[in-house]
């Protein structure tokens, strides 16, 4: 069983940066694709970014492309989401997800509990 635990959410001002972390335990980390999703009260959970098991390919939603960067550290069994140039519309609960392949759909097998990111002046 794979367990995911997010951290790093915070209240920040527009234009600020944050780095979210997702610690992974259980399973074989190097076989897992890792992803980030987000959800607001007004929207369904939506794909933000994903990275392949090898780390050689990453995919981003157009709304975050050029501002957010997903990465993984296999030695630490941790995934990261570096968020720069944050906007109020990035406010959401951010979820880490893991599965064997990347998908923009919410059908990933494993999920964390989420971490709140609030962007407000």
**Residue 59 structure tokens:** 């995919």
Cβ atoms within 10 Å of 53's Cβ, excluding its own: 20
pLDDT averages per 10-residue partition of the chain, 121 residues: 97 98 95 97 96 95 98 96 98 97 94 98 94
- CA dihedral in degrees (26, 57, 49, 96; nearest 10)? 0
Q: Which of 5, 6, 2 is nearest to 27 (CA)?
A: 2
pLDDT for the residue numbered 120: 97
Mean pLDDT of the chain: 97
Q: Which of 32, 30, 24, 27 is nearest to 5 (CA)?
A: 24
DSSP string, 27-51: S-GGG-EEEEEEE-TTS--EEEEEE
């Amino acid at each position: 069983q794979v367990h995911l635990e997010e951290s790093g959410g915070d209240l920040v001002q527009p234009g600020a940066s944050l780095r979210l972390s997702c610690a992974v335990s259980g399973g074989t980390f190097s076989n897992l694709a890792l992803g980030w999703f987000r959800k607001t009260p007004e929207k369904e959970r939506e794909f933000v970014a994903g990275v392949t098991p090898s780390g050689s390919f990453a995919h981003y939603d157009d709304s975050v492309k050029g501002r957010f960067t997903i990465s993984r550290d296999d030695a630490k069994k941790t995934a990261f989401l570096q968020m720069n140039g944050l906007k109020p519309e990035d406010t959401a609960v951010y979820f880490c997800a893991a599965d064997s392949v990347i998908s923009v759909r919410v059908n990933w097998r494993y999920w964390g509990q989420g971490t709140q990111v609030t962007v407000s002046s």
